Structure 1
Amino acid sequence: MAQRVLEPRSQGWRSFGWGQGSFDTAHRPPTPLVEGTIHTPDHLVLVTLRGGARRIEVSAAGGHRYAGPDRPGAVSFVPADCERRLVLRDVATEWASIALVPDAIPDLLDGDGRMLDLPAFSNGEDPFVAGMVGEMARLHAADGNLQPLYCETMSRALACYLVRRYGTPRPAAATVAWHLPAWRLRRIEDYVEANLAADIRVADLARLVGLSAGHLHRAFRATTGTTPLEFINRRRIHRASAILATEGPTVAEVALRVGFLSPSHFTRTFRRVTGRGPSARRPGP
């Protein structure tokens, strides 16, 4: 369960969410003491935009500890489901964060076997991350909103960067292909077909067949040549194509019927999978 309980609470909290993540920003006026816990189901990247704290004391699951000043541009990372306990002294700050949904991260494994499997770190120097998060805060303040496509692009770029910058190569033994037996693959296929209109998460599929999300991703790719998320999208587009060929609903209606909340996302995915737009599948007059 998502939990960000720091007292006294930040002020002027502003948020924006999209399919693979969310953005939050707020500020704290001069405060002598702030303490509490951060614990979310998502990977969390935190940046101090302005101000800071005379001293911040951090302890996190896995043995991570930090004690020192908090300063503008400081970057921290909290892995999914990692509890981070904080004490901040003499605080006056503006901060922002980007949360990354773990189910989307396996798609970002790169060719040399790196993956986003990082321990928590606090108050590091990373101008790229600080600049990216700061720019999202600037745009949100200027427009009062953010564009979902922009956020999707930036969050994937951030995840790719974290993989490349901080990911560690997996041992050779971990890269050995592990294939799914037929019964597991059939159970996943049946579940996806029965739930195309719903929110299907890789974690749900993993629990269905008794595997971790990371293990399922690697085994599914080794077995089918594609990722679970790509398989889900292809089945959704296959169903949408059949609907468009025989019925007359709008593109927005079809998108919802096959599990896409955004018609533009549906159209982009349809074109990527089939090579043409969804309107080309409509029955003739």
Structure 2
Amino acid sequence: MTPKRGNHRVRSPKTKRTETPRYGADGRRVHGRRGRDNRAPCGLAWHRERPCDPGMYSWSGVRSGRRLNVVHIVTNAHQSRTAGIWANTEVEVIEYGELQDVARPIGSKRVSLRAALRETGGRIEARHKPSKPLADGYRGSDHLSLIERGGEAYGHTPFIRSFRCVAIHFDDALLAEACGTANGAELFHSRLMFENKPIWAITDRLALECVTPRFGQRLCCESLIGLLAVELARLGTPAPRQPCKGGLAPFRLRRILDYIEANLGDNIAITELAALAEVSLPHFMRAFRTSTGEAPLRFIMQRRVTRATRLLVETSTPLSKIAHECGFADQAHMTTCFRRIAGNTPARIRRERT
């Protein structure tokens, strides 16, 4: 019994528990109770990547207040795949099960388009590098990704329960016919995580025709693939301007466009453009959008991106100097505008063209 002293119990000293140290095959000491040999290093928890290779394990846990994650690059994570070839273009409808910390290569030897059709219990996104997310991209569940011929891209997800997508690998001859040039496939460059409702609707219909064979399937799929090729070819080309009611007069519009091109390297104020057109500022904003299809500021930014792209391809001028010559605040501002408008970065564009 524990002896008492006054109104308090006196606890008897406890015997310090000792444990015989154990050592693993690598000579390091193994901590923990007996029978727990299959433990992750430094107390980290093992978990199985169920949708991937059954023998593949990864580890994640907490060390020094930081969560550690290992991203696995897998190539056979799909649960079901339906494929067909029409107009020498391969179409794949792929269903994925549960994925966690997985990056899958989605590049191809051909120009390919991938469309997310359904995301359940998570989100998946396209990246240029497995462990480097895009700084700016479309966040909707109906995102599209265009990957150039032989380009590098990965589909990454921290966790998702199920995912359905369609991948279209275009024939070079079809793209050349859609672009009207012999080397049409070389005009397509990678553009990840962007939004385009008409193109997404076509890919959704194409996926439905692929998985539900019916009479007329070949003709329907070939028509949809051809329409997709034309839409992608026109993706970076502005629509021809048609005279419309409520826009600027042709001579005033030409005066404004010439002024913008001549002063892209300077700060262009909208009030200056309105005064040059000899109309009020609100009327100028409405009329300019009606005539060009874009707001004045966005139109100016698109012209700056176009000029900077030409300098990136044709010259070896440093990026900071190109940003200054094209009217951007600095190199970081130019990179942000390129991601929003061109879906790519200046450094990557220069690296791809050299």
TM-score by length of 1: 0.49
Structure with bigger helix share is 1
Looking at CA atoms only, which structure, 1 or 2, has the larger radius of gyration? 2
Q: Which has the higher contact order (CA 8 A, sep 6+)?
A: 1
Per the normalisation by structure 2, the TM-score is: 0.40
